[in-house]
């Protein structure tokens, strides 16, 4: 995972000739390239709805069933959690938080600040995600800033699909395609399931952790940017390895990854309330509530 940038580290990295990833799970976005010829109608992707955190990237997101007066949700990586990275098997729900997020307009200009009231859900087990509930509704954000939330897709992403990784922290968009899927991605003590592998154009870096991965055909969020192999090491922090169905391990230095988000909407009900027992919800549960 790309480690989140903290304090003076951000300044050092900004001044470096080569930017290096953040905390280990989130990665930065690739530089914009001409890319491959379009296979479909491409929707314009910009920064509207994305946010910058103190050390990571994120976005204001909505479920397909979310309503205008529901409390808005902000999504970033689990390893970007302000209280520290959740351990393997750890799941955090309904934890008070007052974290602030800088909301960006379509050109990455700063619009204002929205603030969390709690961590609705966070984990680094099977996936790498934090979902914050904010003190603002979607309607309030749209009325005050003219910004609509990004919608989470509800279908599995497709290999070869065009994607944009939008980093609010770096104010940069990286464009590439989904190269394929990894049954198990292992990094240090953490493992993630059915991860997205980018094509080489997406050279994400530290600080892009938590960036929404947007399908350029639908304009919906299909994954969350989270890691990449920096040094060619095997299964170490900042050097994830791929494990196939037969347990074979491969390492791809310079390859970057994301975690799918299509299953998250099944875990949120009316009023954007988390319901880990809802039909079809496959997010890991806190140990005390597991059956």
> Residues 163-178: pLDDT tens digits?
999 999 999 999 999 9
Q: Which of 75, 69, 12 has its CA nearest to residue 206?
A: 12
pLDDT of residue 3: 60
Contact 248, 201 (CB under 8 A): no
Residue whose tokens read 């890991």: 284
- Checking if the pLDDT of 40 tops 60, the result is no
pLDDT bin (cut points 50, 70, 90) of residue 289 is low
pLDDT bin (cut points 50, 70, 90) of residue 288 is confident
Contact 231, 196 (CB under 8 A): no
Mean pLDDT, to the nearest integer, of 141-146? Answer: 98
Q: In terms of C-beta density within 10 A (0-12 exposed, 13-18 middle, 19 or more buried), how is residue 11 classed?
A: exposed
Tens digit of each residue's pLDDT (9 = 90 or more) over 243-276 = 999 999 999 999 999 999 999 999 999 999 999 9
- Checking if the pLDDT of 237 tops 90, the result is yes
Q: Which of 211, 107, 132, 138 has its CA nearest to residue 168?
A: 211
Residue 101 neighbours by CB under 8 Å, 6+ apart? 51, 52, 53, 58, 60, 74, 113, 114, 115, 116, 132, 134
Q: In terms of C-beta density within 10 A (0-12 exposed, 13-18 middle, 19 or more buried), how is residue 111 classed?
A: middle
- Checking if the pLDDT of 225 tops 80, the result is yes
Q: In terms of C-beta density within 10 A (0-12 exposed, 13-18 middle, 19 or more buried), how is residue 102 classed?
A: middle
Contact 33, 235 (CB under 8 A): no
- Spell out the domains of the chain, with CATH numbers in brackets: 25-34+152-260 (2.40.10.10), 50-148+264-275 (2.40.10)
pLDDT above 70 as % of the chain: 86
């Amino acid at each position: 995972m790309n480690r989140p940038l903290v304090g003076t580290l951000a300044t050092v990295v900004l001044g470096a000739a080569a930017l290096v990833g953040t905390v280990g799970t989130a990665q930065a976005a690739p530089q914009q390239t001409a890319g491959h010829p379009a296979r479909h109608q491409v929707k314009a992707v910009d920064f509207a709805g994305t946010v910058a955190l103190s050390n990571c990237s994120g976005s204001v997101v909505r479920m397909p069933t979310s309503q205008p007066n529901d409390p808005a949700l902000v999504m970033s990586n689990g390893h970007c959690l302000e209280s520290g990275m959740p351990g393997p098997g750890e799941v955090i729900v309904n934890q008070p938080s007052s974290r602030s997020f800088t909301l960006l307009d379509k050109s990455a200009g700063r619009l204002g600040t929205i603030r969390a009231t709690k961590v609705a859900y966070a984990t680094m087990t099977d996936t790498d995600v934090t979902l914050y509930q904010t003190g603002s509704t979607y309607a309030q954000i749209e009325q005050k800033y003219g910004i609509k939330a990004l919608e989470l897709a509800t279908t599995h992403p497709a290999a070869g699909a065009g994607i944009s990784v939008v980093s609010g922290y770096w104010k940069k968009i990286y464009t590439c395609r989904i190269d394929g899927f990894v049954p198990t991605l292992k990094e240090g003590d953490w493992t993630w399931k059915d991860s997205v592998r980018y094509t080489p154009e997406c050279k994400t870096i530290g600080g892009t952790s938590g960036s929404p991965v947007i399908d350029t055909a639908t304009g919906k969020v299909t994954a969350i940017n989270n890691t990449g192999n920096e040094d060619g090491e095997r299964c170490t922090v900042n050097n994830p390895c791929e494990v196939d169905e037969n347990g074979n391990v491969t390492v791809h230095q310079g390859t970057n990854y994301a975690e799918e988000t299509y299953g998250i909407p099944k875990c949120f009900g009316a009023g954007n309330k988390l319901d880990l027992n809802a039909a079809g919800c496959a997010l890991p549960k806190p140990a005390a509530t597991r059956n």
